[in-house]
Amino acid sequence: MSDTTTVARSGLRSAFAGRRLGRGPLAATSWLVVALFVVIAAVGPLFVGADPARNTNDTLLGLGAAGHLLGTDDLGRDELARMVHGARPLLLVSFLSTALAALLGISVGMIAGYAGGRVEWVLMRLMDLALAFPSMLLIILIVSAWNPGVASLVVGIGIALAPGLARLARALATREAGRDYVMAAKLGGTRGPRILVQEMLPNMAGPMLAQVVMTLSVAAGFAAGLSYLGLGIQPPTPDWGYMVQAGQEFLYTAPRLVVMPAAATLLFVVACNFVGDDLRDALDPRGSR
Amino acid sequence: MTTPLLEIEKLRVEFSGSAGRRVRAVRDVDLTIYEGETLGLVGESGCGKSTLGRSIIRVTEPTGGAIRYLGHDITRLRGTVFRQTRADLQMVFQDPFGSLNPRRTIGDSIAEPLLRARGATRAEARAAVDDLLDQVGLGREAAGRRPHEFSGGQRQRIGIARALAPSPRFVVADEPVSALDVSIQAQVINLLSDLIRDRGLTMLFISHDLGVVRHIADRIAVMYLGEIIEIASRDDFFAGPAHPYGEALLSSVPALSAAPARERIELTGELPDPADPPPGCTFHTRCRYAVDVCRTEAPALREVADGRQVRCHLPLIPVSALSTASPVKGTS
């Protein structure tokens, strides 16, 4: 097992060879923003003393109020704590659903591309079928068939985003499967699954990774949208999407209750998108740099 | 050189082309490859020689016919038995750049068949890799490096080491030197000759370069449009091909000055479309000896002299008494 991971890692390293990530202010800022959000979601709650779910009588305090840097909401809960804790559901759902989509999509696509023939036809028509549904509808269907929460969101978004990755994986796998080194591995008695993981996957890793990161920003968009619709994590656990929805009532009296979680969500989605762009540019051998 | 190692019977490979066209790349080929021999398979680009070589070891699955290895039909073997049996049959690829996984070390690539088909332990495989790298003249320190650190000729040596790793009995060498510089070609050919001799390998050596084939092959098979049209010992073939196509091929080899200039026969026209081969003898469209019967009746591959078969109505060598027998296959 350990030699397989070494291979994958070195595969990526040579895919990046000679090209740099984070060139230019936009790309560099985007990487920083994504990293910052990850850090906030991971360890931020440890540094915020206030309980984001504790109601107080100090309702709707403004920015900079004593003890409440970002004020409080309509139930007197500390807004800073809610913002910091609220990053968790979004990032958790985004990353996990992207991981699920990658696992599903890359497996299906690679098997289809390697096997060819009838197997390929059936698998790819299944993917077409999933793509024929509007993604949002498909996710809502899956989530509401289950009970709303992180698990159902991850599964719903993961399934909805898998077909796009499967298409790319199939195209790349078809190309690699026709290469002589794959023939040589077959001649050496290597079984199919091992050929896929050990021989082919490292050679597809570059373009695949860029596409997976682009998928991350789409997943973040869906996660935010669904929690706004109340299909995400359930109150009182703070969540940006739900905070936007709850804050709408006070849009004119306390716009920050909507603006802050909305801006944070937007910033994350956009940053993910630019990070994906940057990865794609860095990995594209035809890139101008 | 009398025990058949591989007997190929009516082997056929078809590809479905665009708009439902069926391209018959290999058309009912009968061929016997004897233990210990090197059979040179020659023909121009697109004649199906690579496809034939690949289908014999089932890298390309044949659409029809049978392949017998040491008397056992391996055409429809599957699963573990197939993987382990087939490891006896290996291949050296034409393109030294595409045949090695760029992400794996040389040592890992060469060890793979030992681990997967021969049940070697990691330590055994490592020792075998070191030996193989020494044998192909690269040195064992190459094991930890990756393909991009090597030149084309070195990579071809690595490809040869990998093909030899599972101790195969039969190796298909598909134009193993045509991608290399002329100065490197001789080294690789000599390496192959040495390995054939030392290991008693049987080899199908595919090439369009008659000069190279003459150096390494014991017997020659000539292919045209998916069919074998002549089989002869090397000396017989180079003394005078029996098929007009073989004659044209041979006349295209540039002669060195001392030899009397041969008449140069230029083939006119293109290789016919393999999806729509001409009726009669497939070569009649380009044959300078063609007569009426060639345009209507397809000749069979028949034995015209001892160990010599030709698919022609009017072979260029005197037909011996043997020839009264109609189509013969696999005799030697």
Domain span at residue A87? Answer: 25-42+76-283
Which of B93, B97, B104 to substitute to test the interface with A, most A CBs within 10 Å? B104
- Residue A18 within any structural domain of the chain: no
State the CATH number of the domain containing residue A225.
Answer: 1.10.3720.10
The phi-psi region of residue B162 (left if phi > 0; otherwise alpha if psi is between -120 and 50; otherwise beta) is: alpha
Per-domain boundaries in chain B: 4-88+172-270, 95-167
Tokens for A112? 């289809």
Q: Does A204 touch chain B (CB under 8 A)?
A: no
- Residue A2 within any structural domain of the chain: no
- Residue A38 within any structural domain of the chain: yes
Which of A187, A194, A198, A199 to substitute to test the interface with B, most B CBs within 10 Å? A187
Q: Does B71 touch chain A (CB under 8 A)?
A: no
- Residue A202 within any structural domain of the chain: yes
| Strand B227-233, strand B308-310: pairing | antiparallel
Q: Would you give the DSSP letter of residue B263? A: P
| Strand B89-92, strand B170-174: pairing | parallel
Q: Does A13 touch chain B (CB under 8 A)?
A: no
- Residue A217 within any structural domain of the chain: yes
Question: Hey, which residues does B42 pair with through a beta bridge?
Answer: B207, B222
User: Helix, strand or coil for residue A96?
Assistant: helix
* Contact between chains at B98 and A179 (C-beta distance less than 8 A): yes
Q: How many domains are there within chain A?
A: 1
Tokens for A176? 């690699």
The answer to whether A164 and A131 are in contact (CB under 8 A) is: yes
pTM (2 decimals)?
A: 0.81
Nearest to B99 among A10, A180, A198 (CB): A180
Q: Which CATH class is domain B4-88+172-270?
A: alpha beta
User: Helix, strand or coil for residue B214?
Assistant: helix
User: Helix, strand or coil for residue A8?
Assistant: helix
Q: What is the full per-residue pLDDT of chain B (332 aa) written as tens digits?
A: 578 999 999 999 998 877 777 888 999 999 999 999 999 999 888 888 999 999 999 998 999 999 999 989 999 898 888 988 899 999 999 988 889 999 899 999 999 999 998 888 999 999 999 999 999 999 888 999 999 899 999 999 999 999 999 999 999 999 999 888 888 899 999 999 999 999 999 999 999 889 889 999 999 999 999 999 999 999 999 988 899 998 888 887 766 555 555 667 777 777 788 778 888 898 988 888 888 889 888 899 988 888 899 999 988 877 765 544 445 444 44
User: Helix, strand or coil for residue B62?
Assistant: coil
> Which helix (H) or strand (E) covers residue B223, if one does?
strand B219-224
| Residue B108: closest C-alpha in chain A | A3
Q: Would you give the DSSP letter of residue A197? A: I
Pure H helices in chain B: 49-56, 79-86, 106-117, 122-135, 152-164, 182-199, 210-216, 234-239, 244-251, 292-296
- Residue A5 within any structural domain of the chain: no
- Residue A93 within any structural domain of the chain: yes
- Residue A81 within any structural domain of the chain: yes
Cα dihedral A47, A52, A58, A59 sign: positive
Tokens for A251? 């849009």
Which residue in the block uniquely carries the two structure tokens 């290991």? B199
Which residue in the block uniquely carries the two structure tokens 């040592």? B107
Which residue in the block uniquely carries the two structure tokens 């090597």? B150
